[in-house]
Amino acid sequence: MVLNGEIVKMDGISYNEVDDFVNEIISISSGMDESLLKKMEAYAYEHHVPIMDRVASNFISVLLKICTPKRILELGTGIGYSAIFMCNQCLSIEILTSYEINIERYEIAKMYCSESVYGKKINLIQKDFREFFPEICLKEKNIFDFIYVDAAKGQYHKILDFYWDQLAPNGIMLFDNIFINGWVINLDYPNHRRKHYVLKMRKFLYLLKEQKHFDFSILPVSDGMLLIRKKD
């Protein structure tokens, strides 16, 4: 916030404290798959599998209800939690196509999607998105209203270029975890391997302001989100 020309900050307040406070306030309806999503949350906790947290879930839920997309592309299925969650939150979805490179997580996602009320809307593909591109994407453009990205963090710049033509005008691309545990901001990465993709992400974010064909906002939600809207 700016007051009298000066930026007003929250003194001594950490993001964890903000998340805890917001978590006490928000309410998320899990929809018809409530018991299934709770079971998946328990699995993710037990097996240390990352899934959407409540703050991110709440934001995505509201965003989907504003956008009312019919065709969604997800890059990074994980165990299928986000795909099932999005279908429960947005009844306008007709088809959600989701890529997952990890065969074990793909099989788990397939099992959970088979239990979902909306399982028939979810098209799971066990491939690296960089190696496999559906025929429809090569022949058609503007086919996705919403693209959700939670995949290889060092590849976000390639994903934006690779799938741009398949995003419809006014379509949304949402990139998750752009701060990568905060390392993108403070550059306090733990090793050389992580340094490589942290610096790639940082460069990608700085180059956004040079683009003229989309609007964007960087949101300090959870581990950071990048919201892009394709111009007409």
Asked if residues 79 and 107 have their Cβ atoms less than 8 Å apart, the reply is no
Q: Print the SS3 string covering 92-115.
A: CCCEEEEECCCHHHHHHHHHHHHH
Question: What are the helix (H) ranges across 90-190?
Answer: 103-115, 135-139, 156-163, 183-186
Whether 220 and 205 have beta carbons less than 8 Å apart is answered as no
Q: Are strands 2-3 and 6-7 parallel, antiparallel or unpaired?
A: antiparallel
**1: buried, middle or exposed (CB in 10 Å: 19+, 13-18, 0-12)?**
exposed
Distance (Å, whole) CA 75 – CA 149:
5
Q: Could you tell me the residue ranges of all domains in the chain?
A: 2-230
Beta-strand relationship, 144-149 and 225-230:
unpaired
- Architecture of the domain whose range is 2-230: 3-Layer(aba) Sandwich (3.40)
CB distance 95 to 136 below 8 Å: no
Residue 105's pLDDT is what? Answer: 96
Residues with pLDDT less than 70, the chain: 1-12, 130-142
Chain position carrying tokens 């409540």: 54
What are the residues whose beta carbons fall under 8 Å from the beta carbon of 119, sequence distance 6 or more? 113
Predicted confidence (pLDDT) per residue in 171-190, tens digit: 999 999 999 999 999 998 88
Would you state the pLDDT for residue 132? 56
Residue 1: per-residue pLDDT: 43
Q: Check residue 143 and give its pLDDT.
A: 87
Pairing between β-strand 144-149 and β-strand 71-75 as defined by DSSP bridges: parallel
Q: Which of 63, 151, 82, 162 is nearest to 122 (CA)?
A: 82
Q: What is the pTM of this model?
A: 0.91
Q: What is the pLDDT of residue 142?
A: 67
Task: With beta carbons less than 8 A apart as the criterion, state whether 148 and 85 touch.
Answer: no
What integer pLDDT is reported at residue 194 of this predicted model? Answer: 87
Coil, helix or strand for 176? Answer: strand
Q: Please give the distance of CA 121 from its chain centroid, rounded to a whole number.
A: 18
